[in-house]
Amino acid sequence: MRYAVFVTGPAGAGKSTFCTSFATHLQTSRRAAHIVNLDPAATGDAFEYEPAIDIRELVTLEDVMSEMGMGPNGGLVYCFEYLLQNMDWLEEELGGYDNDYLIVDCPGQIELYTHHPFLPSLVRNLQRMGIRTCAVYLLESQFMEDRYKFFSGVLSAMSAMVNLEVPWINIMSKMDLVSPTPSSSSSDPSTGPRNGKRARRDVARYLDPDPLLLANARDGHDKFRERENERFHELNRAIVQLIEDHPLVSFLPLDLSSTDSLEVVVSHIDLTLQYGEDEEPKEPHDLDEGDFADME
Ligand SMILES: Nc1nc2c(ncn2[C@@H]2O[C@H](COP(=O)(O)OP(=O)(O)OP(=O)(O)O)[C@@H](O)[C@H]2O)c(=O)[nH]1
């Protein structure tokens, strides 16, 4: 069985950094893991790793823009259309990997996840090749600094989940930027960040989104908006109702400075992919010395 994890999320959410840490973690556990770069616009020095499969070997955004006279957004769409027309290229690239874990680093343009058909088509192609797939969606912890920004992040995660229709995990990345202790400067966890960082104690309301954060908007900025636009307030109430009625979105915290945190995320991904469930138990004569290394 081969496995593929699509690592998605907005630009700068930490996708490439997570892919590197994830792959390193699996390799340390003696599991075959490879990174697939799906961003045709990635620049050479964007990677800390050498991707095993790289869309840029098929098509690059730079070439499309210069040869087809397209802009960056149209060019990206063209690159994905081109990939889908050349699935035999991908199938051949994937041919060399058996019983492996493929970590697919996706571009940061969220329209690719929320309404374009490319990723769903790509996932269906991988499933046809017998590759079990799931997706993770990274939202960075700075999204918790502003409730409106946070809820737009929640809605984009929901929209991407609905579009992709594969087993799915939401991750709150860059949790190392969140302060471990609450500040005494404010007693209201629904207001903005304190001293530039949000206390972890408040974070639970974001990891398992509490719609009241949005309903109980109280700071000056919110009052201004309420006064200015009652319809905006009605829209908020409708969003709160939607999130309450469909509690699909919760977030796993990811702090890459903690191995335990990464391990929890990896074990959730394994569970979602049902990793290893189809493997035959090894016969004693199939075992090699390395299989006993962990037992020493
Ligand atoms: N503090 C902190 N910074 C991080 C973490 N992960 C990534 N970063 C930083 O955030 C920036 C963006 O990280 P990337 O991994 O390139 O993010 P990305 O989602 O792949 O970005 P795009 O490919 O542009 O969409 C870089 O400066 C990273 O060093 C993290 O866990 N903690």
With a CB cutoff of 8 Å and minimum separation 6, the contacts of 32 are 26, 97, 99, 100, 101
23 assigned to some structural domain: yes
For ligand 1, atom 21, name the residue with the nearest CA. Answer: 12
What average pLDDT does the structure give for the chain? 81
Report the separation in Å between the CA atom of 24 and the middle of ligand 1, taken as the mean of its atom positions: 16
Ligand 1: atom nearest CA of 46 is: 16
Please check whether residues 130 and 144 belong to one and the same domain. yes
Main-chain phi, psi angles of 194, to 5 degrees: -105, 135
Report the separation in Å between the CA atom of 174 and the middle of ligand 1, taken as the mean of its atom positions: 8
Please check whether residues 233 and 257 belong to one and the same domain. no
205 pLDDT above the threshold of 80: no
Residue 184 has a pLDDT of 42
With a CB cutoff of 8 Å and minimum separation 6, the contacts of 42 are 56
Stretch 38-52: mean pLDDT, rounded? 82
Please check whether residues 119 and 139 belong to one and the same domain. yes
Residues within 6 Å of ligand 1 by CB: 9, 11-17, 108, 173-174, 176-177, 256
Please check whether residues 109 and 131 belong to one and the same domain. yes
Ligand 1: atom nearest CA of 257 is: 31
Please check whether residues 89 and 235 belong to one and the same domain. no
237 assigned to some structural domain: yes
Instruction: Pick the closest to residue 76 from 46, 51, 106 (CA basis).
Output: 106
Please check whether residues 139 and 226 belong to one and the same domain. no
Please check whether residues 260 and 144 belong to one and the same domain. yes
Report the separation in Å between the CA atom of 276 and the middle of ligand 1, taken as the mean of its atom positions: 30
Report the separation in Å between the CA atom of 98 and the middle of ligand 1, taken as the mean of its atom positions: 30
Q: What is the CATH number of the domain that holds 17?
A: 3.40.50.300
Residue 230 lies in domain: 211-248
191 assigned to some structural domain: no
Amino acid type, 243: I
- Number of folded domains in the chain? 2
Q: Name the residue with higher pLDDT: 118 or 197.
A: 118
pLDDT in tens, 85-107: 999 999 999 987 877 899 999 99
This prediction has a pTM of: 0.83
189 assigned to some structural domain: no
241 assigned to some structural domain: yes
- At 58 the three-state DSSP class reads coil
Please check whether residues 39 and 149 belong to one and the same domain. yes
pLDDT in tens, 219-278: 545 555 555 577 777 777 787 777 777 667 789 999 999 999 999 999 999 999 998 776
Please check whether residues 20 and 156 belong to one and the same domain. yes
Residue 110 has a pLDDT of 85
Residue 228 has a pLDDT of 59
Residue 106 has a pLDDT of 94
pLDDT in tens, 171-193: 999 999 987 654 444 434 444 44
pLDDT in tens, 123-157: 999 999 999 999 999 999 988 877 778 888 888 88
Ligand 1: atom nearest CA of 17 is: 15
Where does residue 231 rank: exposed (0-12), middle (13-18), buried (19+ CB within 10 A)? exposed
Please check whether residues 85 and 218 belong to one and the same domain. no
Residues 75, 68: Cα–Cα separation, whole Å = 8
Which pLDDT band, with edges at 50, 70 and 90, does 288 fall under?
low
Report the separation in Å between the CA atom of 14 and the middle of ligand 1, taken as the mean of its atom positions: 3
